Amino acid sequence: MRTDSPFFSIAKCQRFKEYAEVAVSAAGVEDISWRLWDAEWTLDKLDNVFKHICTNLDKSIYIGVTESPIWRWELCRDHTDTDMKAHGDHCEKMFVLCVDCRDCIQVLEEHLLERLRTVPEVSGNILNDPVYRPGPLNRRGVLFLYVCTV
């Protein structure tokens, strides 16, 4: 169990999830799922999620981080400063997996992508760019790790 810095406490992760879940529900967005959420994530648990999606469900995946799942799913269409596209325009579903402080989640995202590219069951199904590049994010605060299926 993660109880010390630099990670958020499990209770704090749950609170952030609940706030975001309420926002998604209030907006009526049904394509963002919390079914695979785990406040006590580990690399092995996340690896198993990606393997399950790619092999058992035969889906391609895009792994990302965001300050707001609903913004990344549909509201970033108006974000003209970057080449970002709303995932809701080309993905079937977004599964929000976990949340933590910005630096921890971005390191986790980059590490997962590097690691998964070496896993035969998953490597051919990753839609992320071959070279990791973090998106335009707030320099402090929290980030959600998510996976979109295509």
CB atoms within 10 A of CB 97: 23
pLDDT tens-digit readout, 70-112? 989 988 876 666 677 889 999 999 999 998 876 788 888 999 9
Q: How confident is the model at residue 141 (pLDDT cuts 50, 70, 90)?
A: confident
Q: How confident is the model at residue 15 (pLDDT cuts 50, 70, 90)?
A: confident
DSSP string, 22-84: HHHHHHT--SEE-TT--TT--HHHHHHHHHIIIIIS---EEEEEES-HHHHHTGGGG-TTS--
Locate 51 and state its tokens. Answer: 């393997």
The pLDDT of residue 94 is 97
The DSSP 8-state label assigned to residue 8 in this structure reads P
The pLDDT of residue 6 is 53
- Is the pLDDT at 1 greater than 50? The verdict is no
pLDDT tens-digit readout, 36-81? 998 888 888 998 899 999 998 899 999 999 989 998 998 887 666 6
- Is the pLDDT at 5 greater than 50? The verdict is no
Distances (CA, A) of 100 to 67, 69, 95, 106, 113: 10, 14, 16, 9, 17
Which residue has better confidence, 143 or 31? 31
